Structure 1
Amino acid sequence: MRAYLARVDAVLVQAVIAAALSFAHLHDLASAAGQAGWKAWAYPVSVDLLLVAAWKRLRSGTSKAVGWCWFVVALAASLGANVATAGLLDLTDVPDWLRILVAGWPAVAFLGGTLLAHTAPAPETASAPAEPAVAVSVPDAPETAGAAVAPEPEPEAPALHVPAALVNHARKLADDHHARTGSPIDPEALRARLGVPAPLADAIASRL
């Protein structure tokens, strides 16, 4: 446990020292480029916050391209300030291109921070699970062993059309036959008297 705490303390001390040196270099460069007062102190804070935001995006595992892009930009700004203040650049006579870079950094940092804060991966649309197909089984008609199959009924013959005049004439013949014999006329006698086929005679007899 003590070894772990000692290792953690060493890492924290190293991180604090590195951050302080980088912070001071960024402040000195911004001050030399014409950013006086609180503005010179705001530059290192802006660079470090952008570096931390980019690293956090990389650790989250989402939108790594955006995270790597702004991580490299912030790291280049930090390393550039460290190298520039190491004696390679005359801080009393800063070139114009460096002044332009320092003056334009706030807009770049604002853009990077906004993209890192609000750029999120498109949510994955969960596809609705397909409903299982339900097989509908139609039961077969039960087989009746040994059952007799009922014959289909024969279609009925169409009813014969009997003219009303023919029915009236047949009624007169039937009345005359009943008056002479005292019994109703039968279809055979009616057919003989009318001279019509048997089916038509039966149809006429049914209407008398």
Structure 2
Amino acid sequence: MRAQLARVDAVLVQAVIAAALSFAHLHDIASAAGQDGWKAWAYPISVDLLLVAAWRRLRTSDAKAAGWCWFVIALAASLGANVATAGLLDMHQVPAWLRILVAGWPAVAFLGGTLLAHSVPTTTTADTEEIEDQEDVPEPAPEPPAQPAAVEPPPERPAVPVPAALVDHARKVADEHRTRTGTPIDTPTLRARLGVPAPMAEAIAAHL
């Protein structure tokens, strides 16, 4: 845990030192190019903010071309100021082209910051197109209702063997019932008169 904290502290100290030196170099270049007072202090802030905005676009968006473009521009401005103040440039006699670059930097930084902050990321457009494509897909047709299963007829009862003598006797009973009542004999009555089970009575009625 202590080693990790020490490593983090070392990185943080290094970042603070690098930022302070770069900030001072940018201030010196702006001051040498004719930007005095608070304007000279605003230039390093503008460069660092554009650098941070470009780095954020590279980390959080798929549209990396604009992020890389403005990151390189901000890095070149910061790195150029560091190199120029290393004795390669006469700070008391700045060339005209450097004065032009320093004077035009606010417009360039404003344009870059605006494009990075308000441009639509590619991921949002892709998601919108995907949603539109999903809306254009027709809904599948509903499946037809399942046909009810065919009702199988109940199995036929096995035929009950009926003796011929019993059939003759049942015929006599049926004739007697018709003569007495004037109506054909029904199966329950035939069963009661013959004293046979219901399947046997049904089989005898089928022979009549």
Normalising by the residue count of structure 1, what TM-score does the alignment of the two structures yield? 0.64
2:143 is equivalent to residue 131 of structure 1: no
Following superposition, the deviation at residue 63 of structure 1 comes to 1.7
Quick check: 1:107 aligned with 2:115? no
Matched residue SS, 2:46: helix
Question: Who is 2:95 aligned against?
Answer: 95
Aligned partners of 2:18 and 2:87: how far apart in 1? 18
What aligned pairs does 1:144-155 form with structure 2 within 5 A after superposition?
Answer: none
Deviations 1:69-96 (Å, cap 9, x if unpaired)?
1000000000000011100000100000
In the TM superposition, structure 1's runs of 4+ consecutive aligned residues that sit over 4 Å from their partners are: none
**Contact residue 62 and residue 120 of structure 1 kept, 8 A:** no
Give the root-mean-square deviation of aligned CA atoms.
Answer: 2.0
- Give, as a single letter, the amino acid of the residue that structure 2 aligns with 1:91: M
Higher mean C-alpha displacement, 123-132 vs 40-49: 123-132
Q: Is the 8 A contact 1:48 1:74 kept in 2?
A: yes
Q: 2:54 maps to what in 1?
A: 54
For 2:117, give the aligned amino acid: A
The amino acid across from 1:68 in the alignment is: W
Q: Give the unaligned 5+ runs of structure 1.
A: 143-208
TM-score (norm 2): 0.64
- Larger proportion of helix: 2
Aligned-residue offset at 1:137: 6.3
Q: Which residue of 1 aligns with 2:165?
A: none
Instruction: Check conservation: 1:55, 1:67, Cα contact below 8 A.
Output: yes
Aligned pair count?
A: 142
- Equivalent position SS for 1:136: coil
Pairing 1:29–2:29 present: yes
